[in-house]
A and B are shown apart, each in its own frame.
Chain A
């Protein structure tokens, strides 16, 4: 079973991973975007860590909802609303249970990812974070102990964005010139899934 503490540890590990990878994310973003994805997420996750320490929500749903709201209020750009919505809607889907099963988390994440797709008007193959998140959620949903499979699926999904032409977000303005670069959003999504697998193992 996964409790509020598990989700706090996940987000804290995610913040550390974003810190570690910020330069890499920004580098990917400078190729097809505007070179700020790493620093934007760094700012947002630092704020998430701070608010979770201050308010200490007691249920998994409350942890994720608060974290999502904090991302929306601090990140800006497209990644603020999109990642904020992912966490917020996942948290809402978990309700106010004190503990959740991995299967329940998989279902809730599915709802969160669907909300991201709706908000951004994107679908898999558009070279966005969905290219990592959708396969991860599929893998997670297939069996109860599949965090490692989700991690693998997200990483493969992020790698698979390299040959794609971007159709959403700022990279879409490059047209064919966006081909050959890994999507920074899919990369940061894979990072979040990887830290989830780390904390679960």
Chain B
């Protein structure tokens, strides 16, 4: 095992203690595993809470702060948090204007957030939920648990976060979050499997010279394995897969996301190819974000997310954000 850890059992708690030390602007409850912006609850503001398994950093804790999330609940590695965490987070960020749960579509996340919603509503918190399910690699959702939530989560959290920061009411923040999800699609590829701390070795065997197409963010294999392709070929494949499902009439936000072990040198090179395909397909790109945002531990590979935006969504995207993982405009 080549990991910078003590023992697998304390990986999440250790990371939270380190995060607290690095970010005094966050209130990190290590024992109950809730990360809250220190000024929460913000008066007259809808609270945004998200969460999911650890191992996807900076998602979600790295997106807590002004202009994005009010709280995040990290679960064990690749395991959704428990309902008690979300209920606690909801109570901590509710100013009386209500709370929006942003949930990625995985069975565990959905079940735990549903149970948390019941608990929070019992405590008198007005709740709304939005389900993120942007992954076009899941084609036959009739026979699966439905499309996974991947890169679009960042767009939903940023844009809905900006709307909430402006003082939009819960119904409006929820509607914007849904609009972003419905306008966004993703496709991911893996060049290597990742190693979870609990297992200590790669979660699946991917020989060098091969790649997995259509992966999620949990170190699971994709839908198809092929001989290694060039950056150019991967970009063609991934962008075309997204555009088979999303026919944008206006400009898009583009996210070229690293899975954790792919250097920026490669990601920027890949982005050049993504932009080329988009230009060839006549898709205008309003903004581009390149980096490791929705990761899968030490997996090598990348995902592409496109989100069609109107003037309102673009304005909210450009609005100031100040978090550990995403920061601009203030």
Q: Tell me, yes or no, whether A binds B.
A: yes
CA distance A73 to B138 in the complex (A): 30
Is there contact, CB below 8 Å, between A36 and B78? yes
Is there contact, CB below 8 Å, between B107 and A120? yes
CA distance A31 to B220 in the complex (A): 8
**What is the minimal beta-carbon distance from A107 to any residue of chain B, in angstroms?**
25
CA distance A39 to B76 in the complex (A): 10
| CB contact list, A94-136 vs B, under 8 A | 119-120
B-binding segment of A53-61, A153-161, A172-180: A172-180
Known: A35-B196, A72-B83, A76-B82. A174 touches B143 (CB 8 A): no
Q: Does B67 contact A (CB under 8 A)?
A: no
Is there contact, CB below 8 Å, between A78 and B111? yes
**Which of A33, A36, A72, A81 lies in contact with B198, CB distance below 8 A?**
A36
B-binding segment of A11-19, A144-152, A163-171, A188-196: A163-171
**What is the minimal beta-carbon distance from B196 to any residue of chain A, in angstroms?**
5
CA distance A51 to B196 in the complex (A): 29
**Which of A34, A72, A73, A80 lies in contact with B203, CB distance below 8 A?**
A34
Chain B residue numbers with a CB within 8 Å of A175 are 140, 143-144, 223
Is there contact, CB below 8 Å, between A74 and B196? no
Give how many B residues have a beta carbon under 8 Å from the other chain's beta carbons. Answer: 36
Q: Does B81 contact A (CB under 8 A)?
A: yes
Is there contact, CB below 8 Å, between A167 and B143? yes
Known: A172-B144, A174-B223. A75 touches B82 (CB 8 A): yes
Is there contact, CB below 8 Å, between B112 and A26? no
Q: Does A82 contact B (CB under 8 A)?
A: yes
**What is the minimal beta-carbon distance from A55 to any residue of chain B, in angstroms?**
17
Chain A residue numbers with a CB within 8 Å of B144 are 167-168, 172-173, 175
CA distance A170 to B110 in the complex (A): 12
**Which of B77, B82, B216 lies in contact with A80, CB distance below 8 A?**
B82
**Which of B80, B148, B203, B220 lies in contact with A76, CB distance below 8 A?**
B80
**What is the minimal beta-carbon distance from A197 to any residue of chain B, in angstroms?**
28
Q: Does B106 contact A (CB under 8 A)?
A: yes
**Which of A33, A40, A81 lies in contact with B112, CB distance below 8 A?**
A81
Is there contact, CB below 8 Å, between A34 and B219? yes
Q: Does B75 contact A (CB under 8 A)?
A: yes
| CB contact list, B73-113 vs A, under 8 A | 75-84, 106-108, 111-112
Chain A, Cβ-Cβ closest to B82: A76
Chain B residue numbers with a CB within 8 Å of A75 are 79, 82
Is there contact, CB below 8 Å, between B112 and A76? yes
CA distance A22 to B206 in the complex (A): 24
Chain B residue numbers with a CB within 8 Å of A170 are 106-107, 145, 216, 218, 220
Q: Does B115 contact A (CB under 8 A)?
A: yes
CA distance A83 to B198 in the complex (A): 21
Q: Does B330 contact A (CB under 8 A)?
A: no
Chain A residue numbers with a CB within 8 Å of B107 are 78, 120, 168-170
Most buried by B among A30, A33, A34, A174: A34
Known: A73-B83, A76-B79, A77-B80. A36 touches B111 (CB 8 A): no
Is there contact, CB below 8 Å, between B76 and A174? no
**Which of B106, B115, B220 lies in contact with A81, CB distance below 8 A?**
B115
Q: Does B226 contact A (CB under 8 A)?
A: no
Is there contact, CB below 8 Å, between A76 and B81? yes
CA distance A167 to B221 in the complex (A): 16
Is there contact, CB below 8 Å, between B108 and A80? yes
| CB contact list, B6-49 vs A, under 8 A | 8
| CB contact list, A42-96 vs B, under 8 A | 43, 72-82
Chain B residue numbers with a CB within 8 Å of A72 are 82-83, 115
Is there contact, CB below 8 Å, between B145 and A169? yes
Known: A78-B111, A170-B220. A34 touches B83 (CB 8 A): no
Chain B, Cβ-Cβ closest to A165: B143
**Which of B75, B148, B196 lies in contact with A77, CB distance below 8 A?**
B75
CA distance A32 to B203 in the complex (A): 9
Is there contact, CB below 8 Å, between B108 and A77? yes
| CB contact list, B214-232 vs A, under 8 A | 216, 218-221, 223
- Over the window 187-200 of chain B, the binary record of Cβ atoms lying under 8 Å from chain A Cβ atoms (1 yes, 0 no) is 00000000010110
Chain A residue numbers with a CB within 8 Å of B75 are 76-77
Chain B residue numbers with a CB within 8 Å of A173 are 137-138, 144-145, 148, 216, 220, 223
Give 8 A-B contacts (CB < 8 Å), ordered by A residue. A34-B220, A76-B76, A77-B75, A77-B112, A78-B107, A81-B83, A169-B107, A177-B223
Known: A72-B83, A76-B82. 12 other contacts (CB 8 A): A30-B203, A32-B220, A34-B218, A35-B203, A35-B219, A36-B78, A36-B79, A39-B76, A73-B83, A76-B76, A76-B112, A173-B138
